[in-house]
Structure 1
Amino acid sequence: MTMPILTARGEADFDLYPYTPSASAGYAFVALFSLGGLVHLCMLIPLRAWFFIPFMLGCAGEAAGYYGRAWSHSNIRSGSPYLLQLMLILASAPLLAASIYMILGRLIRALDATHHAVLSPRWTTKIYVLIDIGSFVTQLMGTAMQASGDAAGAKTGNTIVVAGLGVQLVAFSVFILSVAVFHRRLVLEPTEISMEHKSWARYMWMLYAVSGLIVVRSIFRLAEFLEGAEGKLYTTEVFLYVFDASLMFAVVVISAAVHPGMLLRATRKRERDIPLL
């Protein structure tokens, strides 16, 4: 999608949106993502879930992005809030995804089931997080180029964003397949720890749920950028809130309700309680 070109600073000499962004919807999601980030912060320390730090940064980015949309309500030609929401709403999803990628490797090790993994937990985490970092950088760089003030740069930036979204979509599709293979193998051949902690399956279903939501969101954003600035997806604000904001907030809620740190803490306690021979 070729976005409107911004002037070097201040206000553009044309409307940056095909509508006036809803201030109430923007502020609502500022509050929701801020609350979600706070809940995860409160769970981070007692559960020692340090791998959720990128997730919390993603919540902060989402909140700041929707603040930009609420801010744009008062002036749809102001470049600063437009660029803020464009960059942060796109780039925050990979931060949420980074923590989700790291969950699988930790669950595999906690359940003593490395022999069931498609790849070793160490490589699983490294590969997917590196792909996610690449997706994050390309989307951030692409959105910055779209606001560069240069028509050629904007077109290139649009292509880069599409590439980043495409990589994210393919990576999550493969990730879901990896989760499914591991899940099936562990069901067919459970480990001692998985039989002791029978709740492990709910964390697999949590991974399916949040990964599926991000895949749907990625499909929407990819279709939006491919359709272009004149397309229905870009010119109708409600689609953004239905297929991006709401889905990403659902990811935040599900990850808190079924937090993998609970299982990881239980398995750590089990190891401490095992008597030395």
Structure 2
Amino acid sequence: MSRLRLVPFALAAAAALLVHPAPAAAQSIAVVVNGQPILSSEVQARLALLRLQSGGKGGTVQAAQDELIDEKLKVTEATRYGMAANPAQVDAAFASIAQRTKLTPEQFAKAIGQRGVSAQTLKSRIGAEMAWALLVRRKYAGQIASNDRNAAASAANAGQASNKAVQYTLRQVVFVLPKKATDAQATQRRAEAVAARGRFPGCDGAVAFAAALRDVAVKEPVVRSSGALGKDLADILSKVKIGGLTDPQRTDDGFEMIAVCERKDIADDSAFRAQSEDDGGKQLQAKAEQYLAQLRSRAIIERR
């Protein structure tokens, strides 16, 4: 889904399944947007969705109305330019949200239905955001890309866009820890990793080193540039000698250390490109917000 607005939907399935269905709301017109009605039942369904997202603690009728008003404006404008969400992509996005709650789409639809949110309510929001994202990208992506190219050229001319980086060959060494390990077991396992760190023979002897220890895994070497690793990890690795290990860090698998097998200078602009992409996303978001504000300022909105 577009970065313009992700659907921030995290549902604990068990909680959703343990509540009673919300009562049906009476039908009436709550808001009219440029002659298009928004029913009170739509407002109540959207309010239920907002409350579901916030764990039942947030959401007001006005917030639900505002969101539906924005959706009407977005969909109408997107339709005017021939933009519409692909139903298959909407269904796929719905299924992805369901998967994150460890439910099938059908189970997820039933779970949220018990909280007064129909599957169609959520799909309508997803579809509106997809159509809006298509429209905004069509209108502004080219302009932003041009701005980024000009910025890159200016930075290069000013000597700011350095493409120097460091290429690392790395191996992960994992002191495996059971998923349900106690704090005492974790403390003991970390101590074992710290003690073994000082005896590490280097990358060539890593496999034999692990074989002599209890529940220690050594992964295959990987090659990464400092730009791709990110500043924090790159800074840590820059201080590790060749053949040495980083301090053990707790992960899902246990305690992980990273061995630096090789380090060499290379030309790499990945960090600059990543920054450009991030800046472009922020610019696109700002354009989307300005565009919607313009639509709202011209709209005739009647709340009843």
TM bracket, shorter-chain basis: under 0.3
Larger strand fraction of residues: 2
TM-score normalised by L of structure 1: 0.25
Question: What is the TM-score with the length of structure 2 in the denominator?
Answer: 0.24
